[in-house]
Amino acid sequence: MVTSSGSPRIANGETIVMPLVRATVPRKPKTPLPQLQTGLLLMLEIAEIAASMSIYPYINQLITEIGITRGDDAAVGYYVGLIDSLFYLAQALTVLGWSRLSDHIGRKPVLLIGLTGACISMICFGFSTAFWSLVMSRCMWGVLNGNIGVMRIVMGELTDSTNMAQGFALLPMAWSIGCFAGPLMGGMLARPQDHWPKLFINPFWGTYPYFLACALSASLLLLAFFMLLYFLEETLSSKRRPRSTIATPSVSRGINDQEAFVQQSTTDTLLWSLLTPTIVIPIASYAMLSFLDVSFRALMPLFLSTPTHLGGMGLTPSSIGLWLAFSGIVDGLFQALFLAKIVDWVGPKHLFCVSVSCFTPLMVAFPMMSWLVHTRGMVDHAIMYALLGQLILTVTWDMAFATALMFVTASAPAKNVLGVVNGLCQTSASIARALGPALTTSLFAFSKKHNILNGNAVYVVLIILSGVLRWLGSQLPDEVQDRDE
């Protein structure tokens, strides 16, 4: 394809317009995604998110039942936020270590260790009848599981610049499916003696009323463990088996020299040398995005379960589970069907900025629904329309994650430091997620209890922070850099 434009030249006293011809670089054809390996990675994401999210429909009721709040409904938010924050803090302390370890022993062993830790954690959570045991079981997951970072590394190694948007668009889809399955399991299987008293007559189910939901979550993690064990291929170049052993001596020597250089450069890479604006801006954007997102995710079930006289919706765990499940499947379907096309259409930076701009109306929806419940005295059609409007905003907001991960992955100066860059990203995100739930739920409870800004102080603070995220988005590169060459 060529484009032409005219430029004047003087020849023999006459002005002659000579065409300037510029050849445009043809677009690289899209590389097909490896279906089996991508599918296994998505299955892992679904299993882990489903297991992690399964506790949210009943966690507020569980905190009330163990008696730590002493009848103070407004204090439930403090303890729920503390459990979430300690989980993410434990993850923040270890996720970089797991990512760097995967640079040495391979991605697959680290993923399998993470699944084992998550499975044990869910079993322990189901047997927990005291607050400290709930905290310990969740912290166990955070310490032993660095998969949130390693999964992104594997996706980065399975894709190139031609199919990166398609690959990373699948991760939010898997996350959303997990958000659908997890709350559905937790909401429907919590306290089975209440739903099926003849089937669950054994006193065990009265002593451990949430074990059934945790056991099913652990079974999903165990299934994912064996699927990865037998079918997942290693993506770390120095650990995977060569596809062909036929090579000339010079080619073989060149490959060995390259691998030695990669290993040496990885070993010698210092973390501070990677802290350049090119890397820091995408990481900071992802961290702030994670903080606001986990704050919203912590607020949502808390708002839905809070009694109406305190400005909430007063819904039951099963109703909360159904709504969260419905939201998750709608979100997942949209991301799977349209996200990659929208990225190609509007560009990753523009889409990121548009997505994060949805956070302000997302927060405004909460006090609006509180006002509707207060004035109407019940959950009716107007409130359902408000919930559906908030869902549309949530779907748009979630598109920011795929684009942010694309910028983080592309910011790595070479593939051999991809693990370190993703480890830094996930460490920052885990710290943000550790701070988010505790600060947000505590501020929610405090503002409701003391009627600060009519109980809406938490939403105002989060809206201000979303402005910081919008500014960070404006500092991202205009295009995702191609590092395939």
Tell me, rounded to whole angstroms, the distance of Cα 274 from its chain centroid: 23
Please list the residues that pair with 2 across neighbouring strands. 23
% residues pLDDT > 70 (the chain): 84
pLDDT (tens digit, 9 = 90+) per residue, 330-374?
Answer: 887 888 788 888 888 888 899 999 999 999 999 999 888 888 887
pLDDT > 60? residue 249? no
Cα 127 from Cα 209, distance rounded (Å):
9
Distances (CA, A) of 268 to 256, 260, 417: 18, 12, 10
| pLDDT tens per residue, range 5-16 | 444 444 444 444
Q: Is 134 left (phi over 0), alpha (psi -120 to 50) or beta?
A: alpha
Q: How much is the pLDDT for 397?
A: 92
pLDDT at residue 87 greater than cutoff 80? yes
Alpha carbons 402 and 398: distance in angstroms, whole number: 8
Residues 6+ apart with CB under 8 A from 209: 190, 191, 192, 193
Tokens 């003087």 correspond to 10
Q: Is the pLDDT of residue 1 over 50?
A: no
Please say if the pLDDT value at position 161 is more than 80: no
pLDDT at 380 over 60: yes
What average pLDDT does the segment 17-43 reach?
71
pLDDT band at 136 (very low <50, low <70, confident <90, very high): very high
Q: Which pLDDT belongs to residue 316?
A: 78
Residue 482 confidence (pLDDT): 60
* Res. 441: pLDDT tops 90: no
**Where residue 271 falls among pLDDT bands split at 50, 70, 90?**
low
**Cα separation, 7 vs 159, whole angstroms:** 43
pLDDT confidence bin for 468, thresholds 50/70/90: very high
Q: What is the pTM of this model?
A: 0.69
Mean pLDDT is lowest, of 101-115, 239-253, 373-387, 407-421, for 239-253
Token pair 């701070």 is found at 435
Structural domains in the chain, CATH included, are 35-237+270-474 (1.20.1250.20)
| Cβ atoms within 10 Å, residue 24 | 8
- Mean residue pLDDT of the chain comes to 81
Question: By the 8 A CB rule, do 116 and 146 touch?
Answer: no
pLDDT at 3 over 50: no
